[in-house]
Chain A
Amino acid sequence: MDIEKRLLGKDKRAAARLISLLENKDPEGLEILKKLYHKSGNAFVIGITGPPGAGKSTLTDKLAKALRKQDKSVSIIAVDPTSPFTGGAILGDRVRMNDLSMDSGVFIRSMGARGHLGGISEATSAAIKVLDIMGSDYIFIETVGVGQSEIDIVKNCDTTVMVMVPGLGDDIQAIKAGVMEIGDVFAVNKSDRDGAKRTAREIEMMLDFNKDVKWRPPVKMVVAVDNQGIDELLESIHMHRTYMIDNELFDERRANNAKNEVVELIKERIEHTILDKSQKEEKLEYYAKRVADREMDPYSAVDAVFDDVKSALQV
């Protein structure tokens, strides 16, 4: 398959295959991406995150449909947890997006949170590039916002929508620590339910604590199943983008994201090279044992490991 040519011709099978290759860090895939990278950067990348059961898939489905009415092409990357025991996963987000699967202007890809070389954040970031190169106007990344790796995923985004629902009780407290601040726009889904206003108020209160930010994230009420409040939410998402561009924050954010990505890739490469080398020689185990037995301190152990692999790294 001539992936490169077919991808530029907006061929979905080529895009799908390239994403798979990149998930697996296949050198062939990386070569193609290196060649085509300069063609990326045009898509608006939107993160959709929030606790389980918040209705993220349904919301993404409706946002995508609203954009399709404006004739924009849309890609969706849906990330679901993977079983830590077997490495398997059931990825069920498409159930909520069934109508979209017949729309030629939509591409949906489900991903398990594990099972990718380099981690899910790297895999999604690669997938974004592919879909961007394919010419998607909008790319949604939908993920359960509970763990660090999921937070890392949305750091690839231009705008992140945090989805909440009434009736989560203490969960909102648990989520706010470290997670709330990634929301650029808040959506209170299922807002026809009791307690929706209270949930919105609680979010507003939490946002009040963060006084020094210039962008005050709007809190929008939606009922995704009934398609209520979707246009307004989309408008807020666009307002955030406009704000970012007008204040020269958009490029800054992208530069930041790019820096993050490069740093992560460097870290991973170093880790991979060093640990792989050491493990092959069973040295890591050896040093670890010595550190545990207090025969050696961990700092000297690191020095020793680096000395061991210096030649391999040629640094």
Chain B
Amino acid sequence: MDRPIRVLVAKPGLDGHDRGAKVIARALRDAGMEVIYTGLRQTPEQIVNAAIQEDVDCIAMSILSGAHNTLLPRVVDLLRAEEAEDILVIGGGVIPTDDIPALKEKGIKAIFTPGTPTQVTIDYIRENVAKR
């Protein structure tokens, strides 16, 4: 039996719009993944602590408040400090296209903007989580 892919779905920062995060959580569950959902107002530190204890394969963060340039790279940095950079980090939400290259350079592997079908995200996670 294969172990299901484990994904932490998190809302970093103070943004309270969780429709996207909840929709993606359900979609990942329906795709057979185990989703650890941590709710609103997560600091990067909380996200990384949870990701490590839960031994997730992927961290998926949704953010619509415009704080992405501050918060998303911080998660990657903290993972690196914990030697956990094998965890796939992806993001979604209201993120201007111009910001995406810099985020990718900082280690956020993919950014899914509004209108992305959930299947695209599911396929991406399946293909890109580190093999164990």
Q: Do chains A and B touch in the complex (CB under 8 A)?
A: yes
13 residue pairs of the A-B complex, CB under 8 angstroms, read A16-B54, A17-B55, A87-B4, A87-B32, A88-B30, A89-B34, A91-B35, A94-B38, A95-B39, A101-B46, A101-B49, A102-B46, A115-B3
**A256 proximal to B (CB < 8 A):** no
State the CA gap A86–B26 with chains docked (Å): 11
Query: Of all chain A residues, which has the CB nearest B49?
Result: A101
B25 touches A90 (CB 8 A): yes
Partner of B39 from the list A12, A15, A24, A98 (CB cut-off 8 Å) is A98
Q: Interface SS of chain A: helix, strand, loop or mixed?
A: mixed
Partner of A12 from the list B3, B35, B46, B53 (CB cut-off 8 Å) is B53
B8 CB, nearest partner CB in chain A, Å? 9
A89 in contact with B29 given A17-B55, A107-B53 (CB within 8 Å): yes
**A234 proximal to B (CB < 8 A):** no
A16 CB, nearest partner CB in chain B, Å? 4
**B37 proximal to A (CB < 8 A):** yes
A88 touches B34 (CB 8 A): yes
B53 touches A115 (CB 8 A): no
Query: Of all chain B residues, which has the CB nearest A86?
Result: B32
- Taken residue by residue from 71 to 103, chain A's Cβ proximity to chain B (1 for < 8 Å, 0 otherwise) reads as 000000000001100111111101100100110
A94 in contact with B28 given A12-B52, A16-B54 (CB within 8 Å): no
Which chain A positions have C-beta within 8 A of B55? 13, 16-17, 19-20
**B99 proximal to A (CB < 8 A):** no
A102 touches B45 (CB 8 A): yes
- Taken residue by residue from 64 to 80, chain B's Cβ proximity to chain A (1 for < 8 Å, 0 otherwise) reads as 00000000000000000
Query: Of all chain B residues, which has the CB nearest A19?
Result: B55
State the CA gap A16–B52 with chains docked (Å): 7
Partner of A115 from the list B30, B34, B38 (CB cut-off 8 Å) is B34
The 3 closest A-B pairs by CB, nearest first: A95-B39, A88-B29, A16-B55
Number of inter-chain CB pairs below 8 Å: 92
Which chain A positions have C-beta within 8 A of B49? 101-102
B7 CB, nearest partner CB in chain A, Å? 10
State the CA gap A19–B53 with chains docked (Å): 10
**A117 proximal to B (CB < 8 A):** yes
A86 touches B31 (CB 8 A): yes
State the CA gap A87–B37 with chains docked (Å): 16
A94 in contact with B37 given A102-B45, A115-B4 (CB within 8 Å): yes
State the CA gap A20–B4 with chains docked (Å): 10
**A112 proximal to B (CB < 8 A):** yes
B35 touches A90 (CB 8 A): yes
State the CA gap A118–B31 with chains docked (Å): 22
**B94 proximal to A (CB < 8 A):** no
Query: Of all chain B residues, which has the CB nearest A104?
Result: B49
Which chain B positions have C-beta within 8 A of A98? 38-39, 41-42, 46
State the CA gap A257–B121 with chains docked (Å): 43
A-contacting residues, B1-48, CB 8 Å: 1, 3-4, 25-26, 28-39, 41-43, 45-46
A108 in contact with B53 given A24-B3, A83-B29 (CB within 8 Å): yes
B32 touches A117 (CB 8 A): no
**A110 proximal to B (CB < 8 A):** yes
Partner of A109 from the list B38, B54, B132 (CB cut-off 8 Å) is B54
**B83 proximal to A (CB < 8 A):** yes
**B84 proximal to A (CB < 8 A):** yes
A94 touches B34 (CB 8 A): no
Query: Of all chain B residues, which has the CB nearest A91?
Result: B36
A86 touches B29 (CB 8 A): yes
Query: Of all chain A residues, which has the CB nearest B31?
Result: A88
**B82 proximal to A (CB < 8 A):** yes
B50 touches A13 (CB 8 A): no
